[in-house]
Structure 1
Amino acid sequence: MPQTDPKTIKAQLKKGELKNIYYIFGKNVPEVEKLTKQIIKAAVGDNEDFALNKLEGRYLDISELYDMIQMVPMMSEYNCILINDYNCEKPREVMAGIRAEDVNKKLLDALKDIPPQTVVIFNVTGFEVPVKNDFKTGRSVIKDKNKKLFDYAAKVGEAVECPIKSENELAKDIAASVSARGSLISLDNARELADMCQSDTLTIRNEIDKLCAYAGKNEITSDILHNLVHRQSDATFYKLADAVAAFNKRAAFDALDELMQDRDNRGAVLGNITASFIDMYRAACARQKGRQIADVKADFGYVWEFKVKNAFRDSSRMSIRRLRQCVEILRDTNMMLNSGSCDEKIVLEQTVTKMLMTKN
């Protein structure tokens, strides 16, 4: 069976159609998790405690999995098995003396004997499966070893990618979600909300809850968006981190001024600055140990590869000792902001000054 899409899976579930194997991945991680829950619900209903087995991919015992596959369901029509983050590129936490191909072959052999009463779900939420676009079919094609497992699931069950939606698609979803809560929002404002949240569906969902609680049955206007929603600005946080790394005082304070324009979310500003420096610290430690971007991405569960790439680039100009000092400065700043009333802007300006004074 060819690769399908989330809407098709949901339509099948409404009709009571269940397949014996599913493979679900994609950059839209909340959609991956949502679709996984819907399949589990269709398979076991409210009997997850008895009929659902959850397994971590990196610790998967294939002999144990085979026994689980053959089990008779308890208190439900189906026996359901969820395997999260099995990576065919590195199927074991420790790969010393083990070939990935051998482990993957044993897994595929175990999956060839799934009885009608068992549903096996593979989902990926902790690492990014690399894909390329097939111009002939218009579909995504997996570029690494995970393609073999994906293709097998597509052949005997269902395989689906959950990509990030376009702003227009998100705008329609936002408008429908807001309407379901009894509020109103125009498509233009819905598109603006998607842009403010950088199309991150989890962030959008949280902002919709907040906006609808504020607006009630009234319309969510552009003014309400600008007053209540914190515009995501990863690029500016990276500019600040890059400026500190380069000892560029003017660029650092220009970036800080831009971030501080959002007066209602200055705590989030410090959190994101800290996250940028922690990313760089991880990258610097990884480089020292000969690890690569893909290793850091997998080890720390990054969804977006560009964040790790930026961290590798920016950290190349800072020593581990200097990065550690910056993280400690940010830690102390967080304690200061939480300990009492103070002017956040002055405190953050002092923080950037301290980081600029550190030396490699």
Structure 2
Amino acid sequence: MINYTELEENIKKNNIENVYIMCGFNEKLMKESINKILKKSISQDFESLNYSVFDGNEVEFEDILNACETVPFMSEKRMVVVYRAGFLNDNSSGSNKNSDKLIKDIEKYVPNVPKHCILVMYYVFDNTREKPSYRVKKFDKKVCVVEFSKLRGMQFQKKVKDVFAEKGKQIGKTELNYFCSRVENNMDIVYNEIEKLCCYTLEKEITKESIDNLLQPNETDDIFNLVDYISQSKPEMAITVLNEIMYKGVKANSILYMVERQFKLMLSIKIGIENKQSKEALVKELKLNPYVCDKMINECKRFTMKKILKSLDICLRTEKELKSVSGDPKFKMEVLIINLAII
């Protein structure tokens, strides 16, 4: 199984495989990669005659078989794409009705896909924590399986910078760091926000102020603000932020997970600082945006090691209560905030 970066390198080198199975949360990146394979393999003049696309929720095996077996016209290759192929997911209920039979037929067929055909099938994860299904893993070693996991750190920044360049817009390094720290790590959203920012700034330079004017605060910003108020012993302000997050529909368990993660990162940064690690080393080790790392280093100054460890202990106890004891989750989160603020 390879990742997005390895696939990009292979495409650049013209190392195009016969069969691809793709999965991940970023459908935009999958579509981009498919388009790059298409451009490398088939002349645009004959694309319509050598390119077949099927909806994974409706496709029958005979459709895939006939499309793959068709001899390309005025081209060495033809390409067959099955998008939103939910039958590749273990939990394929609600997708293709014949998913069990379809997946068995495809398993038998993929070793025999003609050399003139490039078959690509992909499905999109339901959430960012989902992993490749057992069905997909069974294809590994038989075909090229690609997982499109979230781009992080410098990979994410490079991709965002490339998108700005595609739009003909320059962005400074500081502004790029800031934009990446503010925007949600989802390429569909990234493209939309970049489009809006380019239209908003037109011929002007992109600044921190222009980014602030357009981008809505994301959950990471909210959690940072919540922990910041806790560090200042302002539980009433932290509870206000909590209410705003929950009003957006974020569940108590998810909020607690993000708060706990924040303290774990602070613990790692605190240890790194005490061991004389540089900011650059911390960014690389923890896969953080440099701007976010700066903010968290400053935040760590307000917490002693003892307070961070105590905060993590309180978070773990609250997690057990949320999972095992009945009661109002919102009230339990408010109690958590008060307990963290008075340490």
Q: TM-score under structure 1 normalisation? A: 0.54
Q: Which amino acid in structure 1 is aligned with residue 58 of structure 2?
A: Y
Residue aligned with 1:198, SS = coil
Q: Which amino acid in structure 2 is aligned with residue 200 of structure 1?
A: N
| Alpha-carbon distance in structure 1 between the residues aligned to 2:202 and 2:32 | 26
| Alpha-carbon distance in structure 2 between the residues aligned to 1:13 and 1:19 | 9
Kindly provide the CA deviation profile for residues 58-100 of structure 1, in whole angstroms up to 9, marking residues without a partner as x.
333223322322111124321211112332325675888x783
Q: Which amino acid in structure 2 is aligned with residue 45 of structure 1?
A: S
Kindly provide the CA deviation profile for residues 332-351 of structure 1, in whole angstroms up to 9, marking residues without a partner as x.
xxxxxxxxxxxxxxxxxxxx
Q: Report what 1:6 is aligned to.
A: 4
Q: Which amino acid in structure 1 is aligned with residue 137 of structure 2?
A: K
Q: Does 1:221 align with 2:207?
A: yes
Q: Report what 1:189 is aligned to.
A: 175
Residue aligned with 2:146, SS = strand
- Given that residues 32 and 125 in structure 1 are in contact (C-alpha distance below 8 angstroms), is that contact kept between their aligned partners in structure 2? no
Q: Where do residues 1-360 of structure 1 align in structure 2 (5 Å cutoff)?
A: 3-46=1-44, 47-86=46-85, 87-88=87-88, 89=90, 93=94, 100=100, 102-125=101-124, 127=126, 142-153=132-143, 158-179=144-165, 181=167, 183-216=169-202, 218-233=204-219, 254=240, 276=249
| Alpha-carbon distance in structure 2 between the residues aligned to 1:64 and 1:143 | 24
Q: From the superposition, tell whether residues 99 and 201 of structure 1 become closer, same or farther in structure 2 (CA, over 3 Å).
A: closer
Kindly provide the CA deviation profile for residues 172-217 of structure 1, in whole angstroms up to 9, marking residues without a partner as x.
3334443565544333332322232222222222222232334345
| Alpha-carbon distance in structure 2 between the residues aligned to 1:10 and 1:212 | 26
Q: TM-score under structure 2 normalisation? A: 0.56
Q: Which amino acid in structure 2 is aligned with residue 144 of structure 1?
A: Y
State percent identity of aligned pairs: 17
Q: From the superposition, tell whether residues 188 and 106 of structure 1 become closer, same or farther in structure 2 (CA, over 3 Å).
A: same
| Alpha-carbon distance in structure 2 between the residues aligned to 1:172 and 1:73 | 36
- Given that residues 193 and 204 in structure 1 are in contact (C-alpha distance below 8 angstroms), is that contact kept between their aligned partners in structure 2? no
Q: Which amino acid in structure 2 is aligned with residue 64 of structure 1?
A: D
Residue aligned with 1:37, SS = helix
- Given that residues 92 and 99 in structure 2 are in contact (C-alpha distance below 8 angstroms), is that contact kept between their aligned partners in structure 1? no
Q: Which amino acid in structure 2 is aligned with residue 192 of structure 1?
A: Y
Report the Cα offset of residue 31 of structure 1.
0.8
Q: From the superposition, tell whether residues 193 and 222 of structure 1 become closer, same or farther in structure 2 (CA, over 3 Å).
A: same
| Alpha-carbon distance in structure 1 between the residues aligned to 2:57 and 2:167 | 40
| Alpha-carbon distance in structure 1 between the residues aligned to 2:99 and 2:37 | 32
Q: Which amino acid in structure 2 is aligned with residue 147 of structure 1?
A: K
Report the Cα offset of residue 24 of structure 1.
1.6
- Given that residues 60 and 102 in structure 2 are in contact (C-alpha distance below 8 angstroms), is that contact kept between their aligned partners in structure 1? no
Q: Which amino acid in structure 2 is aligned with residue 76 of structure 1?
A: S
CA RMSD of aligned residues (A): 4.0
Report the Cα offset of residue 17 of structure 1.
3.6
Q: Which amino acid in structure 2 is aligned with residue 34 of structure 1?
A: E
Q: Which amino acid in structure 2 is aligned with residue 63 of structure 1?
A: E
Q: From the superposition, tell whether residues 163 and 222 of structure 1 become closer, same or farther in structure 2 (CA, over 3 Å).
A: same
Report the Cα offset of residue 128 of structure 1.
5.6
| Alpha-carbon distance in structure 1 between the residues aligned to 2:142 and 2:128 | 16
Q: From the superposition, tell whether residues 119 and 211 of structure 1 become closer, same or farther in structure 2 (CA, over 3 Å).
A: same
Residue aligned with 2:145, SS = strand
Report the Cα offset of residue 117 of structure 1.
0.7
| Alpha-carbon distance in structure 2 between the residues aligned to 1:226 and 1:35 | 31
Q: Which amino acid in structure 1 is aligned with residue 121 of structure 2?
A: F
| Alpha-carbon distance in structure 2 between the residues aligned to 1:216 and 1:32 | 29
Q: Which amino acid in structure 1 is aligned with residue 196 of structure 2?
A: K
- Given that residues 44 and 76 in structure 1 are in contact (C-alpha distance below 8 angstroms), is that contact kept between their aligned partners in structure 2? yes
